[in-house]
Every structure is written in structure tokens, then in C-alpha cells.
Amino acid sequence: MPLDWSPFVELVRRHQRFVLSTHVRPDGDGLGSMLALADVLEAPPLSKTVRMTVASVLPPRYDFLDPTRRIHRFEPPGDAYRDSEAAIVLDTGTWNQLGDFGDFLRTLPVPKAVIDHHLTQDDLGAVRLVDTTAEATGRLVFEAIAALGSPIPRSAAHSLFVALAMDTGWFRHNNTTPATFTLASELVRAGARPTEAYECLFEQSTLGRLALMGLVLSRLQLAHNGRVAYTEIRRDDYATTGALPQDSEDLVNYTRSLAGVDVGLFFMEQPRGGVKVSFRSRRIDVARLAERFGGGGHRLASGAILDTTLDDARARVLAAVAEVLDPTP
């Protein structure tokens, strides 16, 4: 059933100053959706005041979407955003994905909205505009813009194309439908530039990212009779390779690319402690697995952060996957 966008339209109509955010370690969908919505809110006839912030370092690979650096890293206590009249969270609906911005949002006494397509949702005290059948939050932002009756600027179309393309694996994943290509076509007609986006995203790697990729590939291992593949990044790998933590985006896909693998796992030691685990599968519900460790996401692509050591996280997650692959009566 299509979403009812009237609460969102009313939220926009009644307020002037907005703060927008997305999840930590933002990807193309989160950043593209946020930038596109900001462009529309700021442009006539709406002419709103919009500030964008994310509680983590922004991935350099997406600099081309935000050349004037409109998105700022959130720094507690967040006083610069206290005069906001409304808050919009995109591409996540969980507290743990908002980092320090989540703590700020809890204390911000303004109307809030969540625009998202993930299964796992917390109560953020917000109007929920969530459609788990959408292939990307970018689609939902496109619908929101249509509900507002606003034209789509060329910059917004380009950002939404990146959101759509990245969350479908450049139209390769099984969440890609005929409607996905219809939307992509509309965005190109509105000014999106697919060739330029692809070159910026996939043909501008740093030497550090390529070196990190080599380490990740060298550490690939199989478990549970070849049905599980996993690899890892250790905390000191970034200094060794000259890479950034954001350079790990997409590397999890190599775990699922091995023949015969049902579940791919990617373990990443975090700079501040703990281990982020990314889950990928072609048929097994890994969102349920991630939820066991306080995470969540999509049925075939999810994540979690474990407050423990790399060795312990690896052992616990592999054991949990084994239960799913070989359930006991």
C-alpha cells in the first residue's frame, strides 16, 4: 500500500527551520536522499532553512555530491541545531545508527519524521514514513518530493540516482525491479548523470582503498562446509594501508561472491572499540541474525555492532550462523 505522505507535507508546511541527518558511516542512499531533500526544501517555492549533519566522518568517495561541504559532522552537544523547528532522519530508524546525533535528537523537543526502507525500527518519537518494499530510501524521497508538489532540481535528481543505484548494487541486486529502471529513467530526464556518477564512485579509488581491498581479499576464509565466507579489517590496517574506515564500503560483497556461499560476513574493528559486523546473503534472513546482536537492516543485507573483541565477535557470530544453516530439532 502506498505511503500516506500528508503528515510529511503538513510537517513541511508548518515549519521553516529543519535539521536533516542519516546514519553513521553514511552510504550513497543516506547521503543522496538527504542532499536531494535538502535541495528541494531550500528551493522556491518552499524556501526553507535546512542544515545537514551526520555523527561520523563523511566518506570521501561522495564528495562529488556535496562539493560545497553543506553536510557537517555532528559534534556534541549540538547547540548549533537547537533552534531547529523540525527534524528529519533518512535511511535509518534506529537509535544506534545515529551515533551522537541520536542523543541530541532525544532531547530536541520538535516534531520529527523518519523516511526509511529498513525492517528494523526503533521508536524515535517520529512520524514513520517507512516502506520496506522500496529498493532505496531515495525512492521514498522521490515520492515525498512529488507529494510536496515541488519540481526536482538537477542536483537533486543526480543525488537520488546515486541513492537508487548504490542501494541496488548499480541495478544488480534482487531488489531491482522494472519500477527501479522506470525511476532511474525519470531521474536521468530530470538531470541525473549516470556516467559521471559511476566514474566518481568506482573509478576514483585511492591507493589506500586498493591496498585495504587487497588485505580483505587475502583474509577471506570459508566455514561451515563452504556455506559461509568471512573476512576482517583490524584496527591498525588503516594506518598500515593509508586507507580510511570509510574505504571499507562495499568490500563485504566479496564474501558473498564466492561460489557455494549462503552467508557472507565482514568483521571490522572500530577505531573507538567494538566490532562492526556486516551480514550478506542471497536467501537467508540475515536481519534476524543481526537483531540477535542489537543490529538489523534488510532481509539479505544487515549489520550490527558488538561491544567486544574481534576474536569473540567472530566466534559468536559464526556460531549463530551455524544455527541458522543447520537448525537442531
Query: What would the pLDDT profile of 97-132 be if each residue is shown by its tens digit?
Result: 999 999 999 999 999 999 999 988 999 999 999 999
pLDDT of 329: 39
pTM score: 0.86
Query: What would the pLDDT profile of 243-262 be if each residue is shown by its tens digit?
Result: 988 899 889 999 999 999 99
Burial 291-326 (b: 16+ CB within 10 A, else e): bebebbbbebbbbbbbeeebeebbebbbeebeebee
Q: How far apart are alpha carbons 160 and 223 in whole angstroms?
A: 38
Residue ranges of the chain with per-residue pLDDT less than 50: 328-329
pLDDT of 2: 86
Domains present along the chain, CATH in parentheses: 6-202 (3.90.1640.10), 207-325 (3.10.310.30)
CA distances (Å), 282 to each of 119, 132, 141, 181, 185, in order?
17, 17, 27, 21, 27
Q: How far apart are alpha carbons 263 and 258 in whole angstroms?
A: 10
pLDDT of 282: 86
